[in-house]
Amino acid sequence: MESKAGSKTAYLKYIISVLLFGSNGIAASMMDLSSVEVVFFRSTIGAALLTAIFLLKGNRFGLGEHKRDAAFIIGSGVSMAAGWMLLFEAYDHIGVSLSVLINYTGPAIVIALAPILFKEKLTKVKVLAFLCAAAGVFLITGEVLSDGLTAWGLTCAILSAFCYAATVSLNKLSVNITGLRNATLQLLVCAACVAVFLLLKQGPHIAVTASDIIPILWLGLLNTGIGCYLYFSSLNKLSAQTIAIWGYIEPMSAVVLSAFILHETMSGLQWAGAVLIIGSAVMGELLPGGPGERDLKRQKSDT
């Protein structure tokens, strides 16, 4: 009985976490801040909360024991910082829904790089997944440019996908530092990188208005800090397949929320592109013994 109750709680935690992640663009749209400033508050507040939770649970970082893994996590944190800044910049130029969908081609890029980075076999299904993602981006970007939206926003979204792939790939290389420990360290590095970039770009001054406070706390405390905790604390009680399938609530919820709250619209071709992109990610994650299933099992070991 306790096992079933624990499983239901974990399931609820996981669904809440991916729904929170899907509302990132909505929270950001409510702030009168630049993309870099938004990511600064998101990463610093989220990192502070996640670090507090991690330490209060009696954990320690132990970086000296696994220096090679720590180096990979640092690289992953740097990639995350760049990816978030690019993604939130894309939100401002081409909208939340299209930016999220293009960003979600990251898993397909990981699949394409896997034979080089991880010596994994490139199967026909993996090739098909990558081609589907590429076709999806082609459909979406063609419509974006024809609608007169900026090429800069499109470029930022595409680059954010490559940063996503780099973040995931570097994380895969960390064998001993995983789970909540990995996430906390990565977010701390991300926050430090964004802070340095912000200082170099504009100095320490940020003009925050009263109307920015609630969305800042929403994005930093709720979506990032609590969202990451709920996500990683639920992994060890859910099957890899459940996690992989329901994880796609995030991009789809972002599209739905953007339509209802921000009144963003997508053409038929863009919806077709969305289906191809999400489908490619599902294929890559759900392959028997594939990278998605293996990584999720590895993450559970340190949650």
At 1 the pLDDT is 41
At 150 the pLDDT is 73
**Helix, strand and coil in the chain, % to nearest 5:** 80, 0, 20
Cα 131 to chain centroid distance, Å, stands at 22
Of the candidates 47, 301, 57, the residue with the CA atom closest to the CA atom of residue 175: 301
pLDDT tens-digit map of 229-283: 888 877 667 766 666 667 778 888 888 888 889 888 877 777 787 788 777 766 6
Using a cut of 0.85, tell me whether the model's pTM lies above it.
Answer: no
C-alpha count within 13 angstroms, C-beta hemisphere, residue 199: 6
Of the candidates 211, 217, 170, the residue with the CA atom closest to the CA atom of residue 48: 217
CA distance 229 to 105: 25
CA distance 81 to 47: 12
Residue 86 has which token pair?
């690019």
Locate the domains of the chain by residue range.
Answer: 13-300
At 123 the pLDDT is 74
CA distance 92 to 110: 26
